[in-house]
Chains A and B, each alone.
Chain A
């Protein structure tokens, strides 16, 4: 059975604006894809440990030394809107 998905909720989590057409198509396609993907549950038993990285590495550290990095100008060069050497965004917090 295709999986039933609350498309509006998932789109909200993903901050993704979708048209009504897109929502209908995704509801159907994701339902089928997930029904297929759920096959993983057939063999993934409790005694199998999960793998996040095929070649595990941990605590990759480097000496804590100051090295050259990109300039402020370079960092801001692709920004849609800049003010006083900062990224400018629409308001986030309501002010009374």
Chain B
């Protein structure tokens, strides 16, 4: 039987207005699901049941008064790198295990003001660094489709919570694919909007020129609805774009006739699993059936994007994470003087992947190496952007697999950083270029695991991106469910 928690946010919003259910009932359904499965999934690091109850009651009152935005009363989960006033925010790290932010991040502040209901904070790779959620200091997250598999990462807890229908929707963050790749591996929709469209105020920084807040939902319309509630200019973030808040659900009418779709030829090579390739190819055929003009696109420098990313992101991280010095917040391990205190604090507080990236970034930025690594990587970034500009001269959207593989076993890649980094080979270019991209389920592979298809559009072309994704989603009619919650 379909429970309230199994339904999409858009559907629930209609039901709330029709008076066929209440926000308190929706919350109850989510909490019941969390109680039933989260002991095995491990999506949540902290639950805020009491707060959620107050918020659900307040949302019901607003809905009854006829004064509620569409997102009111819909239960949400937040990745634990997004600051929440009075609610512990750990970044999946021991160094922030007890950190309680004195302010809210802007995306949650906007949702809270609109009647949002917070279920809790979700597990993630430490400081959002990882593609499997195994780098959390508080244990892995298990993929609801098969519990021995990773859910992807770094927003693995948010993706798993939405896949298992514990949360109706969730926010994550995407620096190199951390919303889209777990969406792909967990069979949900993951949207990374244009860089700067959603405020980063209160998002604890990893790599500032790449970090983007994104949405994890069970439909494209839900992604558009959530983006509408949190997007747009925020004076608290100097990198936020001068875009007004607007309604992205307009224009989701299924009409894509004549739209030009470019299939990225470099994204179907040897490293891509056959099950992934077949599923995405099938979806491309569906786009053609819908009337889109499908052609072959090329991103000739795509091969270099991964290398550039693994210089740029760690360099920015090594600088951003310098703030964890045992002085203002977080862990402190005592030492004879300040330098010894800082060095010990950071040695004890950071996990293996974070240390690896801090070391990588520190080296790449250090005297004598800066030009050869960071400087060259920034030039590759220019080449990637030029590739996209050329491709978008001929196409409205580009299509590729989201990730080369479906979900893999916990432990399979954890000792091989290079193999792990390859997960993000198709998602990284959209971060380097700032362009919006979305992952939607295109089907399942031979083992019954979900495959993700990625669409990418030019800067601020979210309306086109969402229109195509919505039309394709309807044509594909993906309705597989994780075994864990099989009806």
Contact = CB atoms under 8 A, between A and B. Distances in A.
Interface of A: 5, 7, 10-11, 13-18, 22, 26, 29-30, 32-34, 36-45, 48-55, 57, 60, 62, 70, 74-75, 77-81, 87, 89-92
Contacts of A34: 360, 363-364, 373
Given A57-B238, A78-B330, 9 more contacts: A13-B366, A15-B322, A37-B308, A51-B381, A53-B209, A54-B432, A77-B100, A79-B328, A90-B341
A54 B434 contact: yes
28 contacts: A5-B363, A11-B359, A14-B318, A14-B346, A16-B355, A17-B343, A22-B355, A26-B355, A26-B356, A29-B417, A30-B356, A36-B418, A37-B307, A37-B377, A42-B304, A45-B379, A48-B382, A50-B375, A50-B378, A50-B379, A54-B385, A55-B434, A57-B238, A80-B326, A80-B327, A80-B329, A80-B330, A90-B334
A51 B331 CA distance: 35
Contact of A87 (B322, B328, B334): B328
B168 to A, nearest CB: 31
A15 B195 contact: no
Contacts of A18: 347, 355
**By CB atoms of chain B within 10 A, which of A29, A36, A44 has the most?**
A44
A50 B363 contact: no
B338 interface: yes
B238 A90 contact: no
A73 B304 CA distance: 48
Interface of B: 98-100, 102-103, 194-196, 209, 235, 238-239, 241, 301, 303-304, 307-308, 310-311, 318, 322, 325-332, 334-344, 346-348, 350, 352, 355-356, 358-360, 362-364, 366, 372-373, 375-383, 385, 417-418, 421, 432-435, 459
A36 B381 contact: no
Nearest to B340: A90
A81 B335 CA distance: 13
B379 A60 contact: no
Nearest to B358: A14
A43 B43 CA distance: 41
B341 A13 contact: no
Nearest to B378: A50
A89 B434 CA distance: 40
Contact of A13 (B238, B362, B376, B381): B362
**By CB atoms of chain B within 10 A, which of A7, A51, A70 has the most?**
A51
Contacts of B310: 33, 36-37
A61 to B, nearest CB: 9
B239 A53 contact: yes
A10 B418 contact: no
A78 B346 contact: no
Contacts of A43: 301, 304, 379-380, 383
Contacts of B322: 15
Contacts of B336: 90
B99 A48 contact: no
A63 B433 CA distance: 31
Contact of B307 (A7, A26, A39, A79): A39
A89 B345 CA distance: 13
Contacts of A92: 337-338
A30 B194 CA distance: 31
B112 to A, nearest CB: 18
Contacts of A51: 378-379, 381-382, 385
